[in-house]
Structure 1
Amino acid sequence: MSATTDAPHLLVVDDDARLRALLQRFLAEQGFRVTAAADAAAARRALAAVSFDLMVLDVMMPGESGLELTESLRRDGPEVPILMLTARGAPDDRVAGFEMGVDDYLAKPFDPRELALRIRTILRRAAPPPPPADTSTGPVQIGTRWFDPQRAELRGPEGVVRLTGGEQSLLLALAQRPNEVLSREEIASALGTPEAGERAIDVQVTRLRRKIEPDPREPRFVQTVRHRGYVLRPGV
């Protein structure tokens, strides 16, 4: 399968030249356009020149690590979805990636077919959602901001609030069922990561609260329901 000009454009960042070349060839065969970079500096140059649909990023690189690059991009860079590759498989390392704003995580060694599947899942999640079956679902007020479920867009006095793919999917799932408690399992399914652990879901909620709550330590809108899950309480 050859990539077309409108195929998703991926940036693969890995300091292992052999793995980088293998990924570039495999993903191109899967129909993606692929650009490769050997380190964070090369990735930054590529991101400054091209708008990518997704970045496949190795966590362990000389100089600036993948986690450090992710933290920097999430602070003041483009909101490109990120799939982290790492030799580390411990839950704490996975959580660290989610805390920095990674959309998904795949431990080495991995099956390339699983990588392609996860990439497509993230891209679907990041794409504008189709109108919900119940078209009466209107914008939901969250303090001084409004979330439009049909556009999956959060707006406030400052304009559009930038959300990562995971944050957007989480808020969409909650906003489509306001005042209804969603279990962590339901949220994981909505995020397209049914294998995600409870801690990973809690991290996504924490990240979302930082963007919508006046005081994330005392959440008014995304509330925890002990032993059950989370609920969105719309309002001012």
Structure 2
Amino acid sequence: MTINLLVVEPDQSVRDQLRFHLHKNQIALSVLYSAAQLVSRVELECPSAILLRAEQPMIEAREALRQLRLAGYDMPIFVQSTSDEIVDKIVAFELGADDYIVDPVDPHELTARIKRAVQRCNRTLCDAPEIREKVSFGSYQIDFATRRLLKNGCEISLRSGEFALLKLFASNPMRILTRSMVNSQLGRAESQKASLDVAVCRLRGVIEADPSAPKFIQTLRGRGYMFVPSPESPPAHGARESASFAGHREFGERGTGAV
């Protein structure tokens, strides 16, 4: 699985070194020079992980980190800095950082940390079904043990792929699932965008009263999908029921002002 890493790094030489090493390790790289545009950029790309440069006074980086977590983004975020001060590390973790990396860092170690964090994030998506045998939403009930979908007690026929997709969504209510996460959990290739679109469309046709205005499986523009078991619940910050932005990155570097 290709990891899409968004790097916030003003130093071109550092970006070049990262691009050279990460490319060899199947990590696609896109860049920003400043944390000021990070939130808006994430809304468009929804990366697998973020490597955020934070140097004193760290105001922009900390504010961007805070806003991302408040908006509901839960991808791994690594803060990279030359500061080894305990207070800087504590503040970063309190704001939602998953890791704090002090320069200099070996590129092999950095790669290992990124891969491990993304793998762990993807694995947690399917934990819930093993704990709960049944999940209810609206007038529906999913029985994970028998792999059945019931509506008001009557069974509704689902293809195996449709059930797998519904199981993934229902097991992660009110959580943003990026295309990358969904494809990874279902064993799909990253390039199978059309296949995922068709699968979601078919599933909506089964469970939604109006598939053109979905209530349960909502599309968050530029971010992915969210399963809302109680449609009266407010969607995540910035959620919109519209076609999601299909961000695609080639290996290498591109982005706002990328060199």
Q: Match of 1:190?
A: none
Q: Distance in 1 between matches of 2:17 and 2:88?
A: 25
Listed as ranges, the gaps of 5+ residues in structure 2 are 135-143, 145-166, 178-259
1: CA distance, partners of 2:126 / 2:175: 20
Asked whether the 8 Å contact 2:125–2:171 carries over to 1, the reply is: no
- AA in 1 matched with 2:121: A
Q: Which structure is larger by alpha-carbon Rg, 1 or 2?
A: 2
State the match for 1:137 in structure 2. 131
Give me the TM-score of the superposition, normalised by structure 2: 0.48
Distance 1:131 1:54 in 2: 19
- 1:43 equivalenced with 2:38 (yes/no): yes
For normalisation by structure 1, the TM-score amounts to 0.52
Aligned length, in residue pairs: 145
Q: Cα distance, 1:84 vs. partner?
A: 0.8
Task: Answer yes or no: is 1:121 the counterpart of 2:116.
Answer: yes
Contact 1:12 1:57 in 2 (8 A): yes
* Structure 1 runs not aligned, ≥5 long: 1-5, 141-147, 164-236
- RMSD between aligned residues: 3.3
Q: Which residue, out of 66, 80, 85, partners 1:85? A: 80
Offset of residue 130 of structure 1: 8.2
Post-superposition offset of 1:116: 0.4
d(CA) in 1 for partners of 2:176 and 2:31? 26
2:46 is paired with a residue of what secondary structure? coil
Whether the aligned pair in 2 keeps the contact of 1:14 and 1:61 (CA below 8 Å) is: no
Looking at structure 1, the residues matched to 51 and 130 of structure 2 have their Cα atoms a distance apart, in angstroms, of 38
Q: Paired residue for 1:187?
A: none
Q: Which has the higher contact order (CA 8 A, sep 6+)?
A: 2
1:14 — aligned with what?
Answer: 9
Alpha-carbon distance between aligned partners in 2 of 1:136 and 1:62, rounded to the nearest angstrom: 45
User: Percentage identity across aligned positions?
Assistant: 24
CA distance, structure 2, for counterparts of residue 75 and residue 126 of structure 1: 18
User: Separation in 1 of the partners of 2:14 and 2:66?
Assistant: 24
Offset of 1:61 from its aligned partner? Answer: 7.2
